[in-house]
A and B are shown apart, each in its own frame.
Chain A
Amino acid sequence: MTERVFPSPVRPVQIILEPGRTEKTYWRDLWRYRELFQVLAWRDVAVRYKQTIIGVIWAVLRPVLTMLIFTIIFARLAKLPSEGSAPYPLMVLAGMLPWTFFSTALSDASNSLIGSAGLISKIYFPRLIIPTATIVVAFVDLAISFGILGFMMIWYQFLPSWRILLLPFFVSLAFLASLGPGLWVTALNVKYRDFRYVIPFALQLGLYISPVGFSSSIVPAKWRLLYALNPMVGVIDGFRWCILGGNAHIYWTALGISLTATAFSLWVGIRQFRKMEKTFADLI
């Protein structure tokens, strides 16, 4: 049975394709393709946990092991102090949750475009969806880690304060902090493949200059402003402040600087991505 589809009564949208022309409909297109975003995010998660048992245990094991290592190295050996009276492992875990999320999100986003070379060369959709969808996997891991955190809190009989309700704000901040550099690197990586090597190195460095294994209070005052340019400083301090309650101290100026740094990196990332988007299919 042949159904007669056309002529359609609705006047369709007109699109003009010219070199160098940016479509005003891009952001509307992003909304129209939201289902594709969901499907790609679901695909990344489903494939990861297709190997069922192993995958889920990894998501639990990684933060637990890192927390143990950090506790042994920083607390026992280096004797770095914890925040107030909070148990050291909780302080480390509160710092590690956002850091693991950030590093997974950033690594996955940086490699996302190259990994989807097949899609990019054959189908049209706003390419911004690709790196953003890969970050969803990091969200799933984060959710599992929150479960571990809850368990640890019960173990230490540590009751969190009302500030824990502000956690979603800092989670969004972590997401935006990873999206900015992620977009920038993945766009550049399509053109110059060297950028693939920048991220693992940067993350290695970042692990030591971010307050994951230590508390921000040990940073001397004269370095504090420079130190706060690292967007994860604001995020991690915020996480600690929310989770550990009155035991953690938050430096509001440092948070302000981190926020500005995050906003700036996000703006640069989106701008660079959009500028290069038209050439992805030719270069990939």
Chain B
Amino acid sequence: MSKSEMVISVENVSKRYLVGHILARRDGHDTLRDAIVRNARNFTRKAIDVVHGRQIVEGDAVEDFWALKDVSFEIDCGDVLGIVGPNGAGKSTLLKILSRITEPTKGRVTIRGRVASLLEVGTGFHPELSGRENVFLNGAILGMTRAEIRTHFDEIVAFAGVERFLDTPVKRYSTGMQVRLAFAVAAHLRSEILIVDEILAVGDGEFQKKCLGKMGDVARSGRTVLLVSHNLGSLRALCSRGILLSEGRLITAGGINDVLKAYSTKNQLSSRIYPEDSVVRRVAVYQVMDKIILEMEYAELRGKLTIPGFSFVIHETDGRPILGHNPMLERRNLDTPWPNEGVVRAIVLSPQLLDGVYTVSVFLGDPYTTIFRDPNCLTFSISGAADSIYQLPPEQVGSVYPECRYEFASLEAKDDVVDIASN
């Protein structure tokens, strides 16, 4: 098969699920008559469903939920495709259809080549069996022959780092060990097409490095890979192409950088709404690629402040502050008149925060008056803001990832002026 021959073709694929709703009043005013009528109606509906051979759905009303709507795209041999989208966009459903686990409600998929899917780490692991036995079990489940597993057995065990515990039942392993072993087996698959669903975000930093390294090898070996991840940094490094899904529809397909740019527009991380009588109506935090944006929506500011300022502090979850900014300190924007109502944004240009969970405190006021302050009003998690695939654990090195350059100097020249200007 030549490099740009089509390997997977998805044509107008849609997937429908049935979703039930319970209509009973929850405030305790549900009358007995209503309850009887509702239950009789449900029973009749379920009986009719059984007669027609349909699935039974719990609830009083049933509606169609289209997890995928008319999705079409093509993947060529050797592509490494990143699939991005907010939660609930239909990414996992699409992977399930491509893995032949479920069939599309409409449309058609054509696949050329063997597919191996990693939708979950450690599928089929049995807690009573030893690590060694589980390697063979999991490998067989993933589609490897016993001969293949035997050939790679030592590599798998070395990758996972569990040599000492090979004959202990897996129920005695720590979660980390189980995950490492499961990924080690999966990493040695040899199929033409590999589908991976968000399993790279497991294990400690050391292990993540290994996983991503292995994924890199897979990507470079010429296999076709489909990868779902929320870590934009890994996607940028591993993938050549991408597709963006949202609410079941395909929004964009193309080169990975274009797709990530489209996805990153205003990726809201967290927001909070305040009551009508407050000056500040809403506070929100967004991540766009590697920048963090704090946004405050306000109304009726006229005359309340002489020199308004919007400042903030970002904290660790335990409250320790990491970074903060106040425009008044730099005497910036002091002369810009603020509209009576609107939105003010603080765009943090290079926060370089490592992946993790943070909180934010906001402040609106001036040197003399505080109009609004709310400490730790938002909690959000960052992923991919620090431009690094391999991230050190923040507990050891802190949450900010500095941009750093390294160089050598000879002993004679060591006291010369260091050139910090060049990139």
Contacts and interface: CB of A to CB of B under 8 A. Distances in A.
Interface in A144-187: none
A191 B221 contact: no
Interface in A119-157: 119-125
A220 interface: no
B120 interface: yes
A122 B108 contact: no
B17 A282 contact: yes
A204 interface: no
A212 B22 CA distance: 50
Interface in A1-40: 2-8, 11-21, 35-36, 38-40
A16 B108 contact: yes
Given A11-B1, A124-B101, A278-B102, A4 B221 contact: yes
A35 B146 contact: yes
Contacts of A21: 103
Contacts of B3: 7
A45 B161 CA distance: 28
A118 interface: yes
B140 A39 contact: yes
Interface string B1-20: 11100000000000001000
A7 B103 contact: no
A279 B105 CA distance: 11
A122 B104 contact: no
B77 interface: yes
Interface string A34-55: 0110111001001100100000
A112 to B, nearest CB: 14
A2 B221 contact: yes
Contact of A123 (B1, B142, B146): B142
Interface string B210-230: 000000010011110000000
Contacts of A118: 123-124
Nearest to B216: A2
A256 to B, nearest CB: 34
A77 interface: no
Contacts of A14: 110-112
Given A5-B221, A16-B109, A47-B128, A35 B140 contact: yes
A192 B49 CA distance: 11
A283 B120 CA distance: 19
Contacts of A18: 103-104, 107-109
A254 to B, nearest CB: 35
Contacts of B217: 2
A263 interface: no
B96 A281 contact: yes
A12 B102 CA distance: 22
A6 B110 contact: no
Q: How many interface residues does chain B have, given as a range?
A: 35 or more
A19 B101 contact: no
Contacts of A50: 128-129
A15 B124 CA distance: 26
Nearest to A14: B112
B77 A6 contact: yes
Tell which of B103, B105, B145, B192 has the most Cβ of chain A within 10 Å: B103
A17 B109 contact: yes
Nearest to B56: A192
B401 interface: no
A6 B221 contact: yes
Contacts of B128: 47, 50
Nearest to A1: B217
A123 B117 contact: yes
A177 to B, nearest CB: 26
A198 to B, nearest CB: 15
Contacts of B297: none
B192 A124 contact: no
A20 B103 CA distance: 8
Contact of B190 (A2, A5, A124): A5
Contact of B111 (A17, A36, A123, A192): A17
A7 B192 CA distance: 9
A36 B110 contact: no
Contacts of A40: 140
Contact of A39 (B78, B119, B137, B192): B137
Interface in B120-165: 120, 123-124, 126, 128-129, 133, 136-137, 140-143, 145-146
Contacts of A16: 108-111
A192 B192 contact: no
A108 B207 CA distance: 39
B22 to A, nearest CB: 19
Contacts of B101: 120-124, 281
B272 interface: no
Contacts of A191: 55-56
B254 interface: no
A192 B137 CA distance: 30
Interface of B: 1-3, 17, 50, 55-56, 77-78, 96-97, 99-115, 117, 119-120, 123-124, 126, 128-129, 133, 136-137, 140-143, 145-146, 190, 192, 217, 220-223
10 contacts: A2-B221, A7-B77, A18-B107, A36-B141, A38-B140, A47-B128, A120-B101, A122-B101, A192-B50, A281-B102
Given A125-B141, A192-B50, 16 more contacts: A2-B221, A5-B223, A6-B192, A12-B112, A14-B112, A15-B110, A16-B108, A17-B100, A18-B103, A36-B143, A50-B128, A120-B101, A123-B99, A123-B124, A282-B55, A282-B102
